[in-house]
């Protein structure tokens, strides 16, 4: 597609519920990133894929967070047993490669109640 597409746009989850957030990057973009952005803060790195390989997951805050990109295109970020502190905007970005600019999706605003 023309841009990075994320769904759902908004998600309200009850504490303890599992959620799955989807990112559809720009076609042909090798690099894919997930970021978490809390209100009033800059995006915080979660994980990075190069094609289907998850090369860096050092930013995932706990083992409840899991990301995959099995065919090197669409990626899913899964959060198990959601907690209130998981409430944030989750941004996906893709790029042709290192040193190029990154195009962000509109994000998924997750609210855990």
Partner 1 sequence: RKEVEQDPGPFNVPEGATVAFNCTYSNSASQSFFWYRQDCRKEPKLLMSVYSSGNEDGRFTAQLNRASQYISLLIRDSKLSDSATYLCVVQSSASKIIFGSGTRLSIRP
HEC string of 21-58 equals EEEECCCCCCEEEEEEECCCCCCEEEEEEECCEEEECC
Q: Is 51 in the site for partner 1 (CB under 8 A)?
A: no
Binding segment for partner 1 among 14-22, 64-72, 78-86, 103-111 (CB under 8 A)? Answer: 103-111
Please, which residues bridge with residue 104 across strands? 93
d(CA 84, CA 67): 20
Task: Give how many residues touch partner 1 by CB under 8 A.
Answer: 24
Binding segment for partner 1 among 20-28, 35-43, 66-74, 78-86 (CB under 8 A)? Answer: 35-43
Of residues 9 and 81, the one with the C-beta less far from partner 1: 9
CB of 111 to partner 1, least distance (A): 13
Q: 8 preceded by cis ω (within 30°)? A: yes
Q: Is 75 helix (H, G, I), strand (E, B) or coil?
A: strand
Q: Is 50 in the site for partner 1 (CB under 8 A)?
A: yes
Binding site for partner 1 (CB under 8 A): 31, 33, 35, 40-45, 48, 50, 55-56, 91, 97-99, 101-107
């Amino acid at each position: 597609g023309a841009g990075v597409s994320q769904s759902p746009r908004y998600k309200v989850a009850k504490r303890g519920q599992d959620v799955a957030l989807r990112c559809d990057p720009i076609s042909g973009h090798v690099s894919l990133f997930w970021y978490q952005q809390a209100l009033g803060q800059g995006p915080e790195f979660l994980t990075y894929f190069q094609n289907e390989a998850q090369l860096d997951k050092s930013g995932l805050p706990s083992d409840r967070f899991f990301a995959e990109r099995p065919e090197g295109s669409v990626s899913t970020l899964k959060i198990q047993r959601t907690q209130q502190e998981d409430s944030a905007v989750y941004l996906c970005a893709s790029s042709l490669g290192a040193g190029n600019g990154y195009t962000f999706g509109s994000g998924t605003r997750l609210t855990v109640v």
